[in-house]
Structure 1
Amino acid sequence: MAVTSRRVRRTYLALVLLHTLAVTCIWAINSLLLFEAGLSNTEALLANACFTLGYAVFEIPTGSVADTWGRRVSYLLGSGTLTVTTLLYWLAWRLHADVWAWAAVSLALAAGFTFFSGATEAWLVDALHHLRDDAPLERVFARGQVVAGVGSLAGSLGGAYVAQATDVGVPFLIRAGLLLALTAVAWRVMHDVGFTPRRTGGPVREVRRVLAASVRHGWGRPAVRWMMLGAAVAAGVGYYVAFTMKPYLLQLAGDRRAYGLLGVAAALNAAAQTAGGALAMTFRSLFRRRMSVVIAGVVLNGTLLAGLGMAGLGLAGFRPAGSVPVAMALLAASSLVSAAVLPSRQAYLNSLVPSGQRATVLSFDSLVSSAGAVVTQPGLGRAADLCGYPASYVAGGALQVLALPVLLLARRHERVAAAAPAEPVTAWAPRS
């Protein structure tokens, strides 16, 4: 069958849907697994920080796999590794493992995810460029957000009610099965188009070559560097909210086993994500530059997070102790904003990176975000232990402000960077 732009886009959306279904079926209850094992907020966030530390450690090596051995190879390694590590996560729960065992499993779990990051986007962009598809990248990324929202809705709601009917471990077994199915589908339909893997110089030499060029084309370009640094703070706060929203909602509801409620909250977030993806192009049209879209998203999300904290503290006119509907509405609004902003950020980054280093630079972007989350999550977790979740959310909203100065620097460099021609890949080689 001939490869067409339409087929590439459909394959991308199908992979996004299956991957999201597999990943999100444990979203409503994943943090509860650690709390059931007896971990405190600080310990649970420490284990989750090890997950983001794993991202920081493994992102570049695994991203280099996609740029040397191919996007398809990286994707298949990711789905296989994630299947095994999901089962290890379930085993740690069954054995009532201590915090250090959870930390080790979280590191291994992160390794599986890092094979994915960058590979799917790079595969899509390379194929569309090769086929001379001139449609805006934001459009296909926005559709990806819509599809991911639908997958999140089905996965998170289904996983929550499965957990309520059985226990919090069963969704992890379902996830492992879905990941096996994803591996089989990717093997069948995902083939590198517009990208030729480089394996002639030996694996170590090729990784060194891609790493060096990626630093030059990624961190070495001010427009990319400042955008990455701005994401470090914002992403860390986002990780924290995603992890702690479950126990916080159960606390507000006064029922520690209201897993169905968590499923409804996750479903609302997924519906908001779908709406955000549908509105992404409209949101983009309100601004002249892509970085302006990103900056607006950070400001809006910081405001929403502070409002979530004030609702729990009884400030700014909210009822004391907050309420489940208010909290769920604010969380859903944050998901909508994030989904509407992400396509502009993805298009911004992909437009500035050459094909030969695309997957590794995208992985490096994820690394910087994860590095910030390693520090942010335990800090906010400690604030939650000392002062409660509401105060930690207010602190998280304030932290978002720290991202604004560097994002404004990225915006300043955006026009110059977009006008500059990309350097050819062959013009750079590391020292032997």
Structure 2
Amino acid sequence: MISATAPTDHSSPIRRIERRFVALTALRWLPVGFKSALTVLLLSERGVPAAAIGVVLAVYSVTVLLLELPTGGLADTWGYRPVLITASLVAVASTAALGLVTSTWALIAAFMLGGLARALDSGPLQAWFVDTTRAHDPDAPIRRGITRAGATESLALALGALGATALIALVPLPSHGARVIAMSAPLLVAAALGIVNAAFLWSWVTGSPHGSRVEVGRAAQLREAIASGLRLARASARVRRILAIAAAGGAAMAGVELLAPLHFADMLGGEGAAAGTYSLLVTCGFIGSAVGSLASPFLVRLARAPHRAILVGAVGASIMLAAISAPTPWRAATAFVAFYVMLGTAMPLVDELTHEEAATGQRSTMLSLNSMAMQVTAIAMSAGAGAAAGVLSPGTAMLLPAAVLALGTLVLLRWPAVSRTIPVPLPEEDRSLVTD
């Protein structure tokens, strides 16, 4: 075990923390890659119209929104490991249900379970990485770990989407008309991978700094964690800008995840015909996002400030999002990949700015505030874009999230000069957080 009396060179435990964080990030998002490209197409194949799909996705976002702050505060008081493991197992149940159920109410229940899982894990893993790193060295940089994890997340999503493409082509299942169809197989594989993720979380997320000593007054700790996050958002102009760009990003992602598969299905001849091709396209998009994440530090150097780099990435993403509405598959596909590249440069930097504004003990709560902001706009976008796609077309409706993202970038034209908070190192006794 690494203790506070270990040699002063902390590079080895810090590298170990980073490697575990990156590997756990991959295990977290690999199952999502298997299902992300196919969920909307599967619902459409089951006979759910675009407007109803938008409502179902909005139910998911409402669930995340209602539970974000309570679960973020729970991670900061109860402990990262139990919250992360619970999230992984709830996600397993949700994903398996999505692959098997056909009734509307069962689908809504599955999406609500998915919203609970998303709320539980929207910040604890990254907060664990930052807190354990800073416990060994309060001045340790976190940008490399966060950007590498961002790239790894995208690559894991890409690998999962590629695996989904292969499964659809290879499994001897019907393409429609049955409870278990070809598009169901990737979701069932994703559920199995979620169990693997839970096992690694149990083994690797050790020495959780928050919750290991909190046995009494847990409810009071939870209330204070939530209140401190809200106070910081109210007091800090920087945090309010971070929340605004997160909200714009949430609208963009909700729009593309709902509308892009329907748009490509229209161009390629239906859901079954589009499933394999669209999964492959999503693979390319996630690889593009990984490239964007790896390019984030370079873009910061060019722009000379993280908020300017976010501005460049978000503006580019809004332009590409509008271009996905092109009526030809190749032009729309090129814009789709470019959108993920540009957004991939921006979002890891949003996380970095969030951590710089949050003290130890606030990190999960602050990340939950970010996720709440994303879910508020995702609710409106899912419902609004679904309705617009029914009246107009999915391609034309794509202009709506593009406009919202473009408007959101305006908050980054001016960045407040004074930071309100400084990350606080953990007490000395909490530095024994990582075992070999």
Task: Tell me the equivalent position of 2:38.
Answer: 29
Cα deviation for residue 123 of structure 1 reads 0.3
Deviations 1:154-196 (A, max 9, x none): 1101113313433111111111110101111110111135556
Is 1:264 aligned to 2:273, yes or no? no
Task: Tell me the equivalent position of 1:116.
Answer: 121
Task: Tell me the equivalent position of 1:126.
Answer: 131
Query: 1:422/1:220 Cα in 2 relative to 1: closer, same or farther (>3 Å)?
Result: farther
Cα deviation for residue 135 of structure 1 reads 5.0
Alignment of 1:1-16 (within 5 A): 1-2=1-2, 4-16=13-25
Q: Secondary structure of the residue that 1:125 maps to in structure 2?
A: helix
Cα deviation for residue 263 of structure 1 reads 2.2
Alignment of 1:81-92 (within 5 A): 81-92=90-101
Q: Secondary structure of the residue that 1:375 maps to in structure 2?
A: helix
Is 1:75 aligned to 2:84, yes or no? yes
Q: Secondary structure of the residue that 1:416 maps to in structure 2?
A: coil
Please give the alpha-carbon distance, in whole angstroms, between the structure 2 residues aligned to 1:127 and 1:110: 27
- Equivalent residues of 1:70, 1:192 under 8 A apart: no
In the superposition, the TM-score normalised over structure 1's length comes to 0.89
Percent identical? 24
- Equivalent residues of 1:63, 1:363 under 8 A apart: yes
- Equivalent residues of 1:67, 1:197 under 8 A apart: no
Task: Tell me the equivalent position of 2:107.
Answer: 102
- Equivalent residues of 1:47, 1:106 under 8 A apart: yes
Task: Tell me the equivalent position of 2:28.
Answer: 19
Task: Tell me the equivalent position of 1:368.
Answer: 373
- Equivalent residues of 2:151, 2:294 under 8 A apart: yes
Alignment of 1:118-267 (within 5 A): 118-132=123-137, 134-164=139-169, 165=171, 166=173, 167-192=182-207, 195=210, 197=212, 199-258=214-273, 259-267=275-283
Cα deviation for residue 216 of structure 1 reads 1.4
- Equivalent residues of 2:246, 2:350 under 8 A apart: no
- Further displaced range: 61-70 or 101-110: 101-110
Deviations 1:229-285 (A, max 9, x none): 232233112112023222221221225323221122011112212211221211111
Cα deviation for residue 152 of structure 1 reads 1.7
Is 1:50 aligned to 2:59, yes or no? yes
Aligned residue type for 2:223:
R
Query: 1:219/1:86 Cα in 2 relative to 1: closer, same or farther (>3 Å)?
Result: farther
Task: Tell me the equivalent position of 1:317.
Answer: none
- Further displaced range: 169-178 or 290-299: 290-299
Task: Tell me the equivalent position of 2:390.
Answer: 385
Query: 1:328/1:136 Cα in 2 relative to 1: closer, same or farther (>3 Å)?
Result: farther
Task: Tell me the equivalent position of 1:292.
Answer: 308
Task: Tell me the equivalent position of 1:332.
Answer: 337
Cα deviation for residue 38 of structure 1 reads 1.2
Is 1:399 aligned to 2:404, yes or no? yes
* Structure 1 unaligned residues grouped into runs of 5+: 312-321, 427-432
Cα deviation for residue 48 of structure 1 reads 0.5
Is 1:277 aligned to 2:293, yes or no? yes
Q: Secondary structure of the residue that 1:39 maps to in structure 2?
A: coil
In the superposition, the TM-score normalised over structure 2's length comes to 0.88
Query: 1:73/1:394 Cα in 2 relative to 1: closer, same or farther (>3 Å)?
Result: same
Deviations 1:291-330 (A, max 9, x none): 1122222211111112222x2xxxxxxxxxx222211111
- Equivalent residues of 2:35, 2:186 under 8 A apart: yes
Superposed CA RMSD: 2.2
Task: Tell me the equivalent position of 1:416.
Answer: 418
* Structure 2 unaligned residues grouped into runs of 5+: 3-11, 174-181, 428-436
